[in-house]
Chains A and B, each alone.
Chain A
């Protein structure tokens, strides 16, 4: 088995063992599988892509095909101990509404996203004057699913406005964890552990 992507690994390590988890945008269920096997979690998933759902079901995972922008509303309040949104926030039609849904469904949430204020992004935009295409955001502006680029500072500001509590945060560059100092400049992507 391949090791988990860095942001997923840190989430897996911080989900409480035995908790119930909803992985929103679970892909082919890599994180869910680890959560079930190593953390004894009751893991459920939501995924928009039918083929990915099919593979999850074939792995014995409980995954519902759905559009997180619309279908999170179908879950009752406090349905899960924890809701996870990895690398999906920036694709949401309304990231703020999605954050509300996550913390309505789950008592705790993990959110990870690529930081658009990472210095290479800034440098690329500054010197080339064109929308950056990088390892983490590899698709051109006209076909990218990332329709709401966000920075670490922007996200913190949204959390403050909503009164959401940051329990922990982690920052990564080149799949390696870096400290939180000047993260908005130095981090390629960020993971936040949030509660209401």
Chain B
């Protein structure tokens, strides 16, 4: 997991305790964030990007641990669809995360890591903390909020709970509620972490090895849900990994096995297992309609923003029907909304990969 020395970047401690949906209050909340571009004099050119489950604030800057380019480097930068020569782009690590914002690995009130004593947080709590960040930065109204996957959930929650704070809402490959299937996959991941003896009830910080094996398995299972069957077949098929024939054993004979094992192990270098538990829980708890008496349309009744939703035809994690469900609710309150289902071969992860039509939609919508 991330060592403190690697986490050099902007951060601030929120001046007030953060009220949580659980009823608890979180004191001394630190938010780590990155900014790109320059704020205009009136600060009306700010775009807040929300990252996905395994993402972080390094949208378009080199990741301090992996040394890889930012996760949306192709989308964010000077002259790119989210043009940092025009817009002031902000992205913060969510609370509950492990890249510098307050989470289960942070020091609790007694000076020891929170671990599982960290309060269960929600998507709305994450949004609330970032509103406090905007307040601290002196930004009253954003040009846009933008997010894919979990980031899209934050964008929708932001629009619903703080309707006056943004002019545009761009939610990509996302949903207004986690389905039973979504929760099921997350539960497999959490159980993999918690079944690892090194998890130690979550108190593994400073106590030898952490649950890297469990976290790697969780990541492997989740990774499958981010890709399409056709994409997997195209990329790996039944091809064997560095060998001519099957080994009649349980090594990674197939390329797909080798790939998933690599993805799993690499993930543990940069992600805290407890953070994975907390963030997946927040996603599972997400149901925007439930917050508004079961009517999704009511969630957007006070909104004055323009919306754009994008889905991908091969995304079976948050399929097109989920986006249309949101569009339906927005139509019911006559909110200005655009929606398009783009064709891309890579499944849910399409929003992170090369997809020219997505570039054009984002650029066009942001204006």
Interfacial residues, chain A to chain B (CB-CB below 8 A): 20, 42, 44, 50-51, 53-54, 56-66, 71, 74-76, 79
Contact = CB atoms under 8 A, between A and B. Distances in A.
A64 B361 contact: no
Contacts of A50: 340-343, 357
B360 interface: yes
A76 B361 contact: no
B357 A56 contact: no
Interface in B313-359: 324, 327-328, 331-332, 334, 336-343, 357
14 contacts: A42-B336, A50-B342, A50-B343, A54-B342, A57-B308, A58-B360, A62-B336, A63-B338, A64-B327, A64-B338, A64-B339, A65-B340, A65-B341, A76-B331
Contacts of B336: 42, 44, 62
Nearest to A80: B334
B169 to A, nearest CB: 12
A66 B330 CA distance: 14
Contact of B357 (A44, A54, A74): A54
B365 interface: yes
Nearest to A45: B338
A66 to B, nearest CB: 8
A54 B340 contact: yes
Contacts of B331: 64, 74-76, 79
Which are the 6 A-B pairs with shortest beta-carbon distances? A58-B364, A62-B336, A53-B340, A64-B339, A74-B328, A65-B340
A75 B342 CA distance: 22
B363 interface: yes
B364 A57 contact: yes
Contacts of A75: 331-332
A6 to B, nearest CB: 28
